[in-house]
Chain A
Amino acid sequence: AQSVTQLGSHVSVSEGALVLLRCNYSSSVPPYLFWYVQYPNQGLQLLLKYTSAATLVKGINGFEAEFKKSETSFHLTKPSAHMSDAAEYFCAVSETGGFKTIFGAGTRLFVKA
Chain B
Amino acid sequence: DTAVSQTPKYLVTQMGNDKSIKCEQNLGHDTMYWYKQDSKKFLKIMFSYNNKELIINETVPNRFSPKSPDKAHLNLHINSLELGDSAVYFCASSFKIGETEAFFGQGTRLTVV
Contacts and interface: CB of A to CB of B under 8 A. Distances in A.
Interface of A: 32, 34, 36, 38, 41-46, 49, 51, 88, 90, 94-103, 105-106, 108
Interface of B: 4, 40-45, 48, 50, 55-56, 58, 90, 92, 97-107
A99 B56 contact: yes
Given A43-B105, A99-B97, 8 more contacts: A36-B104, A43-B4, A43-B104, A90-B43, A94-B99, A99-B56, A99-B98, A103-B42
Would you list the 3 A-B pairs with minimal beta carbon distance, nearest first?
Answer: A43-B104, A94-B98, A103-B43
A74 B42 CA distance: 19
B52 to A, nearest CB: 15
Nearest to B35: A103
